[in-house]
Copies of this chain bind each other. A is one copy, B any other.
Amino acid sequence: MPRSSTVPPPVTSVLEAAGSWLPSRMAEVETRLAELTADHGRALAEDAGSTLSAGGKRLRPLLVLLCAGPAASESAVRAACAVELVHMATLVHDDVLDAAPLRRGRPTVAARSGRDRAVATGDLLFSRAFAELGIDGAEQQVALLSSASVGLALGELAQRRDAYDPKITRERYLERCALKTARLFECACAIGRAGDGGALDPELTRFGREIGLAFQLLDDVLDVSGPPERTGKARGTDLLDGTVTLPLILARERDPGLGEIELRSLDPAGAVAICDRIAATGSLDEVRTLAQGMVAAAKRAIEGARLTADERRLLGLVADGVVERYS
């Protein structure tokens, strides 16, 4: 259960469906992120730049801008960058924690430049995020992003605490997903409006939460199902890291022996074998169905949100895309 990032969401279709304001704002985000990671010398530019360019399709900035709407100000662009910088920082630190060699098929900062430099690079990206809000951010934006960051760190700590315990419950797993992934999606949906003094909309936050959870569940399915050429990492990477996710938790109910596996002694081949055994129980489809239910809940939430029909349609496309990319 690394933070879900392996497979880019269908940002392209949303960009096409939106008016020209969205591609233009997203381009501003991209330019600004490139500036922010380039202005600290070559070594950092390489480390942060590779994280940046390997950075998927910017789902979180997209959510920030979509929720801010076509009238999104400069402040929403900064907020979008800030959220993405926090996401990047967590990816860099996650790879330190997991000693991960690859992310999206490329060497991680930890693997290329050492874990030491990766810790400091993550700190820099994180600091940069708040510096970005400091330029013209509203108090509420800082409160939202820092509170989400607290959640991410708590989720990470919970995952460390649970490591190598094959008996982790479904509730505990979902609690971790809520902290480690969904909190930043929630924040992305709330923060764009906050910069322009808009009121928080609990339905929009709910939307972010549900698609964040769905995103993580489906990412955890991919860790079991692969294929590696699509995910950019070996099957069973989570198992090797000692991270027990929902596919295994549900599989355990049908194949109780899976609750007894000694995760610490797994090797890569053993992990792939466990993945096959998990898949054989049918639990992957069960997790996919749960994720689809979360996406449906997300779409129901935006029905009640204060949005224009067009904004609602675009957010619906994002939600659908989360499932489609993984189907």
A residues within 8 Å of B by Cβ? 40, 43-44, 90, 93, 96-97, 114-117, 119-124, 126-140, 142-147, 149-150, 152-154, 156-157, 160-161
Contacts and interface: CB of A to CB of B under 8 A. Distances in A.
Most chain-B CB neighbours within 10 Å: which of A116, A117, A135, A138? A116
A150 B133 contact: no
Contacts of A157: 40, 43-44, 117, 120-121, 124
A147 B123 contact: no
Contacts of A143: 131, 134-135
Nearest to A124: B153
A297 to B, nearest CB: 27
B120 A160 contact: yes
B150 A128 contact: yes
A156 B120 contact: yes
A127 B96 CA distance: 18
A124 B90 CA distance: 11
Contacts of A137: 139, 142
A149 B130 CA distance: 9
B133 A142 contact: yes
A194 to B, nearest CB: 11
Copies in the complex: 2
B43 A161 contact: yes
A140 B138 CA distance: 11
Nearest to A121: B157
Contact of A142 (B114, B126, B130): B130
B40 A123 contact: no
Contact of A134 (B120, B131, B139): B139
A153 B131 contact: no
A119 B159 CA distance: 13
23 contacts: A40-B157, A43-B161, A44-B157, A97-B116, A114-B160, A117-B160, A120-B160, A121-B153, A123-B149, A123-B152, A123-B153, A124-B153, A126-B153, A129-B146, A130-B130, A131-B143, A131-B147, A132-B146, A133-B142, A134-B143, A134-B145, A134-B146, A138-B139
Contact of A146 (B114, B120, B130, B144): B130
Given A117-B160, A123-B152, A134-B139, 11 more contacts: A114-B160, A115-B115, A120-B156, A123-B126, A123-B153, A123-B156, A126-B149, A127-B146, A130-B149, A134-B142, A134-B144
A120 B190 CA distance: 25
A147 B126 contact: no
A193 to B, nearest CB: 16
Contact of A131 (B119, B121, B133, B146): B146
Q: Which of A119, A139, A140 has the most CB of B within 10 A?
A: A119
A16 to B, nearest CB: 35
The 8 closest A-B pairs by CB, nearest first: A134-B143, A127-B149, A130-B146, A124-B153, A131-B146, A134-B142, A123-B153, A120-B156
Nearest to A142: B134
Given A97-B119, A160-B116, A145 B124 contact: no
Residue in A44, A131, A142, A154 with the greatest tally of chain B CB atoms within 10 Å: A142
